[in-house]
Structure 1
Amino acid sequence: MRPKDRISYFYDGDAGNVYFGPNHPMKPHRLCMTHHLVLSYDLHKKMEIYRPHKAYPVELAQFHSADYVEFLHRINPDTLNLYPNELAKYNLGEDCPVFENLFEFCQIYAGGTIDAARRLNNQLCDIAINWAGGLHHAKKCEASGFCYINDLVLGILELLKYHARVLYIDIDVHHGDGVEEAFYFTDRVMTVSFHKYGDLFFPGTGEVKEIGEREGKFYAINVPLKDGIDDASFNRLFKTIISKVVETYLPGAIVLQCGADSLAGDRLGCFNLSIDGHAECVRFVKKFNLPLLVTGGGGYTKENVARCWAFETAVLLDTELPNEIPQNEYSEYFAPDYSLKIPGGHIENLNSKSYLGTIKMQVMENLRCIQHAPGVQMQEVPPDFYIPDFDEDEQNPDERMDQQTQDKHIQRDDEYYEGDNDNDHNIEGG
């Protein structure tokens, strides 16, 4: 019998307190709601809870261009009119607005995914969770689809220091284009994205023919779906493809992006998945017993996002939860029935058996071209990223702690009950 998984969970209430603007579908407040559900179900007592370090600009520039990171650092809502050219160049505006504390928000969610990868690398846990992460659309030099910094790419780069091959799986309703693009030419990362694909559906990429190029040919897998897919068809396809991928590719670690906009009833989604159906993917991936980094992603009906990620936290902990949501700071959001599960939706399922069969066949065909795991030559493991010396006087002492010291600062169980000030941020947009 395998000993119980050790789970590290990253959370900083400040990430849930930023505000994209009144009519913007992205509500980081869903992170506070998720966390309070986790607390109200006592799940925090079964895992180690950490506040992530704020990723340094130099860490973000491991993937992103230095000029883009520098601009994100510099820009704020009061100085927008000074930089019309840069805003256009870096795709900041309507979808990716500049708001108060934008850079700090990026530092927190990216820091959480980087820390999660480092703890896995150092075998300090078996599973690491960062619900604030999963912002899969961000590109090397620009923001895209509500995403500014691609924490997933940064986390995968970290894992590649210790693992010859990393598998990335994405169940967000949107194609994981930023992660796929970052690793399109390498066989050291296999990306597998299950998403809605069709005219005018963002980001417009991710057809089954996109398979990677050069060394990366056949190492990008896309599973394009149509409106209304339900639990049964999604889970069947997911399990068939992921089993074959793991058997063929033999990854050393897995990154799972759990975007909750693939749930029924999502404000921007068009699938029929119930929370059980979505979580079944998490349960299945966990069974491979490989180092696992789990993130959030999209999800725009925020009470359902919170339900989903709290439930999936319990799945990762092998814990059954009662369907009745315990009293918590956000209880009114779960009225009138205060139940954890949401059923599947009623959008017509346009995914015929023959359509899904064809997709499956094409994916399997591409996997056959790999035959066996690529023999990646591992170099000497580079050290964890060292932060250069800063002027002591300028640096906040908290931010100077090295990773090991930070790791010792596990938050007390009650740390997040007080002083989170979530209640000041109940402003709701359209």
Structure 2
Amino acid sequence: MKPHRVRVTHELVTAYDMLDQMHVLRPRRATPEAMTAFHTDEYIHFLNRVTPETVAEMTGNGSRFLVGEDNPAFDGIFEFCSISAGGSICASERIADGSADIAINWAGGLHHAKKREASGFCYINDIVLGILELLRTYPRVLYIDIDCHHGDGVEEAFYMTDRVMTCSFHKFGEYFPGTGTQEDRGRGKGKGYSMNVPLKDGITDEAFKSVFDPIIAKILDVYQPSAVVLQCGADSLAGDRLGCFNITMEGHAHCVQFLRKYSIPLILLGGGGYTVKNVVRTWTYETACALGIEKDIDPNLPWSSYFEWFGPRYRLEVLENNMDDLNNKDGLLDKIRTTALQQLQELAPAPSVGMHDVPRESVGHHLGLRNFQVDARDSLDSKLAQHARYVYDLQPESDTPSDTSDDEDSEDEDEDTTSRAQRSMRRSQQRMSILTGQYFDVPVYDPAHPQYPYGEYEHVAVMARTAKRRFFQSGARWDETIEDVVAKRYYPMSVAGMMPLPMAGVGMPMGLGQQYAADDMMEDDWEEMGP
């Protein structure tokens, strides 16, 4: 998932002279405010501050935000998220204003990120942010996911709406994230608008086409989307380090070709893919498919800065292997296709959306509040690029990726792990690792942790874990008893004891919720004042 995949892809696309046939844009970074269109403010604030040195303290020893080992905190994590999300948002803007028919962001497609938690190598869900931008203009958006893993983050975000239909083709069965059965169809107003196609190991090009083509054709006919977002996760290719399908480059790119024939505004995003040279080949070929020149390009790779990576054949190809296709046994694939088409038959055609005015620009842009940030960002981009080149030049020759893959652990899951997997995947205190595929217990957030300064208030700790989302620090709260907003005033902190002094609401006795708000306010005071 390193950004180096995108750099190599860009070099190969350049070597094939495709850049002259496209508008190459430099998207602006996504601001924290833009990210909170989906993610919680607390989570974005955390990503903006966390470092490898402070991650244990800020996550409560791995009990929140970054759970498990799949999403480590690294230097520049927020810059990475802002660039990836900014690309998908700007792609949606270009589609929405009609300046492009197809937009590509191979650095996007991080479909596992949740509202308040990172998951499966994904920190910010740029797909959801991009779709939300499309919904400002279009009444219906179709999201298609051909990554080997289920697109659980996007499905969860739009599970209760009919304005976005999600369709995911993925491996299911003791495989991360463990979700995505055909019974998961949405809820409430979104009932029927979440489509899942769970597959087994070793599916080939022809078998994949036999389910993809009829299901997507039926969705396009029934749902009639105004725009389509295709997540082209390349870990569904044959030979991927974490994938388990047997799809070639042509079979993967067939999805792009199929959607291009319908002439619907289309956004192509990246995603998974852990055999880098195959990822680069496929995304380059799919770029050619988007341009309609896939039959004209030379299968023999042109010279580029990374030419030696693609040996020994040096060709634009990803070949299938000798895996067994478990989908053809017992008529499994026919059952999956039949069930999916029956579910689509039950949907009402083209759900309508009320007419509404769409602002052409945000209030911030209209007032000119963000213009001053442009020069600062340009300077930051230059410094980051210079630092990245410096660090890359320091790496020894042995660190360059080789043609051989690392040995992967192949140990079977023990009895305890298997029994946990069979019980329930959705238990709140368990997660599955994308690397190992095994379940692990999530530590409960301990209020006595040193990072939590008021551990002696056990009842306050319970309330902190169950409290509703608070968008911004405020001196007001909603009182359930009188059903009105109650203003609060804050008293100075006791220097001797380093604990907040009593606080009371205006004309009301101090309550538990008020004490919690005071404690939270004082925590910010400590950060500003220092020791």
TM-score bracket for the superposition, by shorter chain length: 0.7 to 0.9
Q: CA deviation at 1:391?
A: 8.1
Q: Cα gap change, 1:425/1:188 in structure 2, threshold over 3 Å: closer, same or farther? A: farther
Query: Helix, strand or coil for the counterpart of 2:71?
Result: coil
CA distance in 1, matches of 2:371, 2:197: 52
Preserved contact between residue 303 and residue 334 of structure 1 (Cα < 8 Å): yes
1:54 aligns with 2:54: no
The superposition leaves residues 31-70 of structure 1 with CA deviations (integer Å, 9 ceiling, x where unpaired) of 1111110001011110011122110000000000011001
Please list, as runs of the form range in 1=range in 2, the aligned pairs for 1:298-313 lying within 5 A after superposition: 298-313=272-287
CA distance in 1, matches of 2:85, 2:259: 23
Q: Which residue of 1 aligns with 2:53?
A: 78
1:330 aligns with 2:306: yes
CA distance in 2, matches of 1:123, 1:377: 21
Query: Helix, strand or coil for the counterpart of 2:195?
Result: strand
Q: 2:375 aligns with which of 397, 404, 424?
A: 397
Preserved contact between residue 32 and residue 44 of structure 2 (Cα < 8 Å): yes
Query: Helix, strand or coil for the counterpart of 1:351?
Result: helix
Preserved contact between residue 364 and residue 370 of structure 2 (Cα < 8 Å): no
1:174 aligns with 2:149: yes
Q: 2:196 aligns with which of 222, 225, 235?
A: 222
Preserved contact between residue 165 and residue 252 of structure 1 (Cα < 8 Å): yes
Q: Which residue of 1 aligns with 2:484?
A: none
Q: 1:343 aligns with which of 319, 328, 334?
A: 319
Q: CA deviation at 1:371?
A: 3.3
Task: Give the aligned residue type for 1:424.
Answer: D
Please list, as runs of the form range in 1=range in 2, the aligned pairs for 1:228-267 lying within 5 A after superposition: 228-267=202-241
TM-score if structure 1 supplies the norm length?
Answer: 0.86
Preserved contact between residue 81 and residue 124 of structure 2 (Cα < 8 Å): yes
Q: CA deviation at 1:428?
A: 5.0
CA distance in 2, matches of 1:333, 1:296: 20
Q: Which residue of 2 aligns with 1:284?
A: 258
Q: Which residue of 1 aligns with 2:5?
A: 30
Q: 1:424 aligns with which of 379, 393, 404?
A: 393
Q: Which residue of 1 aligns with 2:351?
A: 374
RMSD of aligned C-alpha atoms? 2.4
Q: Cα gap change, 1:359/1:326 in structure 2, threshold over 3 Å: closer, same or farther? A: same
- Tell me: higher relative CO, structure 1 or 2? Use CA pairs within 8 A at least 6 residues apart: 1
Identity %: 49
1:356 aligns with 2:330: no
| Unaligned runs of at least 5 residues, structure 2 | 379-385, 407-531
Q: CA deviation at 1:83?
A: 2.0
Q: Which residue of 2 aligns with 1:3?
A: none
Q: Cα gap change, 1:84/1:392 in structure 2, threshold over 3 Å: closer, same or farther? A: closer
Q: Cα gap change, 1:385/1:428 in structure 2, threshold over 3 Å: closer, same or farther? A: farther
Q: Cα gap change, 1:280/1:152 in structure 2, threshold over 3 Å: closer, same or farther? A: same
Q: Which residue of 1 aligns with 2:183?
A: 209
Preserved contact between residue 30 and residue 306 of structure 1 (Cα < 8 Å): yes
CA distance in 2, matches of 1:360, 1:350: 15
Q: Which residue of 1 aligns with 2:477?
A: none
The superposition leaves residues 257-285 of structure 1 with CA deviations (integer Å, 9 ceiling, x where unpaired) of 00000000000000000000000111001
Moved more, 390-399 or 277-286: 390-399
TM-score if structure 2 supplies the norm length?
Answer: 0.70
Moved more, 338-347 or 114-123: 338-347
Query: Helix, strand or coil for the counterpart of 1:167?
Result: strand
Preserved contact between residue 180 and residue 220 of structure 1 (Cα < 8 Å): yes
Q: Which residue of 2 aligns with 1:100?
A: 75
CA distance in 1, matches of 2:109, 2:364: 24
CA distance in 2, matches of 1:235, 1:110: 30
Greater Cα radius of gyration, structure 1 or 2: 2
Q: CA deviation at 1:322?
A: 0.8
Query: Helix, strand or coil for the counterpart of 1:50?
Result: coil
Q: CA deviation at 1:286?
A: 1.0
Q: Which residue of 2 aligns with 1:18?
A: none
1:149 aligns with 2:124: yes
1:39 aligns with 2:14: yes
The superposition leaves residues 302-329 of structure 1 with CA deviations (integer Å, 9 ceiling, x where unpaired) of 0000000000000100113211111111
Q: Which residue of 1 aligns with 2:439?
A: none
CA distance in 1, matches of 2:154, 2:123: 13
CA distance in 1, matches of 2:240, 2:183: 28
Preserved contact between residue 263 and residue 278 of structure 1 (Cα < 8 Å): yes
Moved more, 356-365 or 111-120: 356-365
Please list, as runs of the form range in 1=range in 2, the aligned pairs for 1:105-116 lying within 5 A after superposition: 105-116=80-91
Preserved contact between residue 56 and residue 62 of structure 2 (Cα < 8 Å): no
1:275 aligns with 2:249: yes
Q: Cα gap change, 1:362/1:385 in structure 2, threshold over 3 Å: closer, same or farther? A: farther
| Unaligned runs of at least 5 residues, structure 1 | 1-25, 401-417
Q: Cα gap change, 1:317/1:75 in structure 2, threshold over 3 Å: closer, same or farther? A: same
Q: Cα gap change, 1:85/1:191 in structure 2, threshold over 3 Å: closer, same or farther? A: same
Moved more, 188-197 or 362-371: 362-371
Task: Give the aligned residue type for 2:128.
Answer: V
Preserved contact between residue 182 and residue 196 of structure 2 (Cα < 8 Å): yes
Q: Cα gap change, 1:385/1:89 in structure 2, threshold over 3 Å: closer, same or farther? A: farther
Q: Cα gap change, 1:139/1:384 in structure 2, threshold over 3 Å: closer, same or farther? A: farther
Preserved contact between residue 275 and residue 341 of structure 1 (Cα < 8 Å): yes
Q: Cα gap change, 1:386/1:40 in structure 2, threshold over 3 Å: closer, same or farther? A: farther
Q: Which residue of 2 aligns with 1:121?
A: 96
CA distance in 2, matches of 1:103, 1:169: 27
CA distance in 2, matches of 1:393, 1:92: 37
Q: CA deviation at 1:82?
A: 3.2
Q: Cα gap change, 1:73/1:369 in structure 2, threshold over 3 Å: closer, same or farther? A: same
Q: CA deviation at 1:92?
A: 4.5
Q: Cα gap change, 1:383/1:355 in structure 2, threshold over 3 Å: closer, same or farther? A: same
Q: Cα gap change, 1:278/1:133 in structure 2, threshold over 3 Å: closer, same or farther? A: same
